[in-house]
Amino acid sequence: MSMEKLGFIGIGLMGAEMVPRFLDAGYEVFIWNRTVEKMAPLAQRGARPCASIAELVESADILLLCLGDTAAVESVVFGSGGISSQGRPSQLLLDLSSIDPGKTRQFAADLKASAGVAWVDCPVSGGVVGARQGSLAIMAGGEEAVIERARPILECVGQRLTRMGPVGSGQLTKVCNQMIVGCNAMVIAEMIALAQRGGVDAEKIPQALAGGFADSRPLQILGPQMATHCFEPVAWHVRTLLKDLDTALQVSREANSPVPMSAAAAQLMRVHASRGNGERDPSTLIQLYCEAE
């Protein structure tokens, strides 16, 4: 049985790492990105750049999105020449983006009605390193049979794929994930600053706390970067984490479920982003607590 052809839209930090894994697994991958230049390195690896979304949709069986926000997903799917005007019932859309759960449910219903294309929301956690290593955690929302069709593809980039419920459930689970990550990043920053002011060798804190209750992947990644003020290369963006925390606040209001810790983290992160740090790595959050270098 021949392998399904993939169409990947969104060659950002994550997409640039995911596409090579699909290629290495033997899939034919068609790609499209708003910034054409970003497709060139993947074309050299064997991906097939498309001049338009319509060309990609015509060529692929499975459509994968990895885009920055809800508006970008809506534009690609329902904008002029988008997926909704070109899709066919045999296709499946896998949205790896982190976007609004309610909008996801609406998008899925509208796409099914207009083109017959099934939708799986399958945001990921694990960052650029996880994408490169194929060790992402993937939380999926959609019909069980549809998710099983997608499983062999998603397992190219993830070590674990979990169905969380109907469409939208994957996105809501990712919101919960980002609440933990955002609050964790903020408290790591203030903790490192406090330790340094107290004369502690803060670079050793991740090593000292490894395996204990305070340990976490953000601590092991962000802790050394914050302690040394080493903020390059950029592995993710402050603006992305802030966007996800804002989604958490919106969802919490709709559900009448208070999230005071996440609200505080979002407020502090917004201050940091407003100082020109939106495109920088979240390790720069340490600069909220000490003089910027």
Catalytic residues: 174
Cis peptide before 233 (omega within 30 of 0): yes
Please say whether the beta carbons of 287 and 246 come within 8 A: no
HEC sequence for the chain = CCCCCEEEECCCCCHHHHHHHHHHCCCCEEEECCCHHHHHHHHHHCCEECCCHHHHHHHCCEEEECCCCHHHHHHHHHCCCCHHHHCCCCCEEEECCCCCHHHHHHHHHHHHHHHCCEEEECCEECHHHHHHHCCEEEEEECCHHHHHHHHHHHCCCEEEEEEEECCCHHHHHHHHHHHHHHHHHHHHHHHHHHHHHCCCCHHHHHHHHCCCCCCCHHHHHHHHHHHHCCCCCCCCCHHHHHHHHHHHHHHHHHHCCCCHHHHHHHHHHHHHHHHHHCCCCHHHHHHHCCCCC
What span, in angstroms and rounded, lies between the C-alpha atoms of 123 and 118?
16
What span, in angstroms and rounded, lies between the C-alpha atoms of 86 and 71?
19
Tokens, residue 102: 């309610």
